Amino acid sequence: MSAGDTSTTDRPPVAVIGGSGFYEFLDDVAEVTVDTPYGPPSDALSVGSVAGRPVVFLPRHGRRHTLPPHRINYRANLWALRALGVRQVLAPGAVGGLRPDLGPGTLVVPDQLVDRTSGREQTYYDGQPRADGKPSQVVHVPFADPYCPVGRATVLDAARSAGWQPVDGGTMVVIEGPRFSTRAESRWYGREGWSVVGMTGHPEAVLARELALCYTALSVVTDLDSGVEVGQGVTQQEVFTVFARNIDRLRLLLGDAVKTLPEDQGACPCGLALADTER
């Protein structure tokens, strides 16, 4: 099934970008391939439904987790979702806690982001000709508040209903990876007042804004980052184990959030992100 096979009536307004544990999240699943001007997305997209509402799932790292954070084609991923009709993106991910009170199993719904990546393609407005052949524009999108306020409120309510005690707000610092932080780096991030550290939250958020999509991050703390804890520091196995332990609750949360997200973007400013830039 290709992107052109989806009718206007069943185009999914909501997408979940996540890991392999979310394949069981959808009912009536069909795979969709989408060609983009930026190359292929991380993998085929799965279009299905949650409580009767069309939803698309995109495996961020590929279905076999073969793409490290710095090799993900973020531009193709977000473009493909937009091409399918998506307007709202829920983005769960594993993070390290930068404060002792943000231990494993904590759900943080951040409201701010700090970019510490390097070399990633992070804009569609890069001076190259547009996909439609027209000259490219110089566009500076507003990004003071990187996450959708309506999406955040919806996720927080759904999280409480699903048995979480979510942390409302906080700053996610995104590092290049794939290595974890040194102790000095972790302590620096903590001194800056940042809450969690991850590897994939940027440029996803800014690319979503450039496409006027709503984007909400759901950060599941899998470890205390290496500057916070003693011992050898965080390991990959620890991250995978703790995230897997919380996957059922996370799926329940996402299901409730999908059911209660508004039908359109009328209640938030995300859909107007390009209003002052279009000429």
Nearest to 69 by CA among 221, 199, 239: 199
User: Between β-strands 196-198 and 88-97, what pairing exists: parallel, antiparallel or unpaired?
Assistant: antiparallel
The residue from 145, 223, 248, 264 that is catalytic is 223
* Winning range, highest mean pLDDT, from 46-50, 100-104, 183-187, 213-217: 213-217
pLDDT band at 8 (very low <50, low <70, confident <90, very high): very low
pLDDT at 31 over 60: yes
Whether residue 245 contacts residue 134, with contact meaning beta carbons closer than 8 Å, is answered with: no
* pLDDT computed for residue 134 by the predictor: 67
pLDDT at 9 over 50: no
More confident residue, 248 or 82: 82
Question: What is the rounded average pLDDT for all residues in the chain?
Answer: 87
* pLDDT computed for residue 252 by the predictor: 86
Residue 264 falls in the annotated catalytic set: no
Q: Environment class of residue 238 by beta-carbon count within 10 Å: exposed (0-12), middle (13-18) or buried (19+)?
A: middle
Residue 145 falls in the annotated catalytic set: no
pLDDT digits (tens, 9 = 90+) for 67-81: 999 999 999 999 999
Taking only Cα atoms into account, the Rg of the chain, rounded to an integer number of angstroms, comes to 18
Residue-wise burial string across 115-154, b where 16 or more C-beta atoms lie within 10 A, e elsewhere: bebeebebebeeeeeeeeeeeeeeeebeeeebbbebbbbb
pLDDT band at 207 (very low <50, low <70, confident <90, very high): very high
Residue 159, classed as helix, strand or coil, is helix
pLDDT at 223 over 90: no
Query: If you average pLDDT over residues 257-262, what whole number do you get?
Result: 91
* pLDDT computed for residue 238 by the predictor: 72
Of 131-145, 177-191, 211-225, the least confident:
131-145
* pLDDT computed for residue 7 by the predictor: 43
pLDDT at 205 over 80: yes
Of 35-39, 97-101, 235-239, the least confident:
235-239
User: Between β-strands 167-168 and 107-109, what pairing exists: parallel, antiparallel or unpaired?
Assistant: parallel
* Winning range, highest mean pLDDT, from 13-27, 125-139, 192-206: 192-206
Report CA-CA distances (Å) from 204 to 38, 190, 238. 14, 23, 24
Annotation: CATH topology of 3-272: Rossmann fold (3.40.50)
User: So where are the chain's domains?
Assistant: 3-272
The residue from 27, 225, 248, 276 that is catalytic is 225
Report residue 19 as tokens. 């890991």
More confident residue, 196 or 53: 196
Q: Where are the beta strands (DSSP E) in 41-184?
A: 45-50, 53-59, 88-97, 107-109, 112-116, 167-168, 171-175
How many angstroms separate the CA atoms of 195 and 127, rounded?
A: 35
The secondary structure element, H or E, covering residue 28 is: strand 27-32
Structure pTM?
Answer: 0.90
State the angle between helix axes of 74-83 and 201-210 in degrees (0 to 180), rounded to the nearest 10: 40
